[in-house]
Structure 1
Amino acid sequence: MKKQRPTILVTNDDGITAPGIKVLMEVMAELGDVVVVAPDAPQSAMGHAVTIAKPLRLDKVNIYDGIDMYQSSGTPVDCVKLAVNKVLHKKPDLLVSGINHGYNSSINVIYSGTMSAAMEGAIEGIPSIGFSLGDFRQDADFEPVRNYVKQVAEQVLEHGLPVGSLLNVNFPPIEEIKGMKICRQAVAKWKEEFDERIDPHGRKYFWLTGKFLLNDNGEDTDEFALSQGYASIVPVHFDFTAYNAIPFLNNLSFNSK
């Protein structure tokens, strides 16, 4: 009996016409039957936002021949929810998100729409991966990462992932990637700055800017691997419980009168 091809859901946060998602769907088409559900416009840094105060639109589009594609007015997480409930009517065998223009390493995973889409997949029990390339340019070169993306997806399709976990995969923007390393998330943060300006009506407004502060000298982190020319693979989970803090909290007197 011929083995059935897996169903692979492809999404992103850069929008359905972004170059990164085109590369991702091309690679996934080598592995299974691809369905794309992605935002109709860029939704970067949306985190795990969902749309509840306005209706969602979902339209079938024909952008690339031979690919079943839908665009939504919602967030990346909305796209995953719509894909499972209104397009596929089942859970796919694999969810891949990206390939994002720009790193989602370290603390950036918190803000990332790319990774939140993958996390929503993991919440649904779908093996899920977020892919990102450290290049914000519209004409970023994704060719060096194609084989690595395929390798990671193949391994997850074959072996699955531990319950409650997903993968955060980042690539350095170089022609010769040295390989892939399993890493931990580096300790870092953004130091925000706000560029204050005045609009034509004399009202004050702000543009958010900032600097990335790496507070981690470890050589086992995603930031270190990327700086050395390697792709980083960080296992992520959506259980935010700080288990190491439970003994500390148990020694406090929350129930005193």
Structure 2
Amino acid sequence: MTKHRPSILITNDDGITAPGIKVLIELMGELGDIVVVAPDSPQSGMGHAVTIAKPLRLDKVDVYDGVEMYQCSGTPVDCVKLAVNKVLHKKPDLLVSGINHGFNSSINVIYSGTMSAAMEGAIEGIPSVGFSLGDFKQDADFSATRPFVSAIAKEVLANGLPLGTLLNVNFPVGHKIKGLKVCRQAIAKWSEEFDERVDPHGRPYFWLTGKFLLNDKGEDTDEYALNEGYASVVPVHFDFTSYNAIPTLKNWNFNL
């Protein structure tokens, strides 16, 4: 009797030719039947944006031999929606997004296209994982992440995830990762600044800059784990309800 090979959807926000997605293609191909649907150009920082004001293009491409791949003109979330509805015509057994160039730990999960693609998978009821490495360089070395990516994917395939929950996995830079820690999301924020410049036509323009402010000294956070040389795994859910605020709000006087 032939053993069932799970179906695995691969996507990202760095674009279909990014080095990080190649690692996922290689590793997931060992675990199941893969399909890749990814943006045709970088879409970092797009969050959970969807395309509604212009048509979407979806083209089959031949980037890696023997791999079914499609490039999409839209956002990472668009890629997941099109993959489920127009490519697979079903929900895959696993969705993996990444491996992103740069951390998506703590507050960065809000802005991340990588994590929003995984979030869309979770919304669809698909066990989903977003992977990120804290190295923005195009020639980033992903070799140390490989055994962890495989191990996490195998566990998710074997056990599933709670409904509405996905995993945010981040890897520190370096040739040796000490291990893996299940963590909570650190409390942090960006202090934004805008660098104002003038173009050759005399019109002002702005570059977003800023500093990352970590306001959390806890030793159970993703930021702490990463700073100590561990990979961090944070279970994330898309229910944004602040349940502890409900009793307070119920005592307010909303009489108009």
Q: TM-score, normalised by structure 1?
A: 0.99
**Sequence identity (%):** 79
Alignment match, 1:188: 188
Letter in 2 for 1:152: I
Instruction: Give, in whole Å, the separation in 2 of the partners of 1:125 and 1:192.
Output: 35
The superposition leaves residues 84-107 of structure 1 with CA deviations (integer Å, 9 ceiling, x where unpaired) of 000000000000000000000000
Paired position in structure 2 for 1:18: 18
Question: Equivalent residue for 1:126?
Answer: 126
1:32 equivalent to 2:43? Answer no
Deviation at 1:241, TM superposition (A): 0.4
Partner of 1:252: 252
After TM superposition, give the deviation of residue 4 of structure 1 in Å. Answer: 1.3
TM-score normalised by the chain length of structure 2: 0.99
| 1:40-59 correspondence to structure 2 within 5 Å | 40-59=40-59
Tell me the alpha carbon deviations over residues 19-62 of structure 1, each in whole angstroms, 9 at most, x when there is no partner.
00000110000100010000000000000000000000000000
- Matches of 1:162 and 1:61 in 2, distance apart? 34
* Residue 111 of structure 2 is aligned to residue 111 of structure 1: yes
Q: Please give the alpha-carbon distance, in whole angstroms, between the structure 2 residues aligned to 1:185 and 1:179.
A: 18
Once residues 185 and 245 of structure 1 are traced to their aligned partners in structure 2, the CA distance between those partners, rounded to angstroms, is 19
Q: Give, as a single letter, the amino acid of the residue that structure 2 aligns with 1:59.
A: D
SS at match of 1:213: strand
Q: CA deviation at 1:201?
A: 1.2
2:87 aligns with: 87
Cα distance in 2 for partners of 1:136, 1:121 equals: 25
- Per the TM alignment, residue 3 of structure 1 is displaced from its structure 2 partner at its CA by 1.3
CA distance in 1, matches of 2:199, 2:159: 55
Tell me what 1:210 maps to: 210
CA shift, 1:174, in A, is 1.0
Q: Which runs of 4+ in 1 moved over 2 A?
A: none
Please report how far the alpha carbon of residue 2 of structure 1 lies from its aligned counterpart in structure 2 after TM superposition.
Answer: 1.2
User: What corresponds to 1:241 in structure 2?
Assistant: 241
2:102 equivalent to 1:102: yes
What corresponds to 2:175 in structure 1?
175
Cα shift at 1:114: 0.1
Aligned residues: 256
CA RMSD of aligned residues (A): 0.5
Matches within 5 A, 1:58-77: 58-77=58-77
Aligned residue for 1:196, secondary structure, equals strand
Q: Which runs of 5+ in 1 are unaligned?
A: none
CA distance in 1, matches of 2:234, 2:66: 33
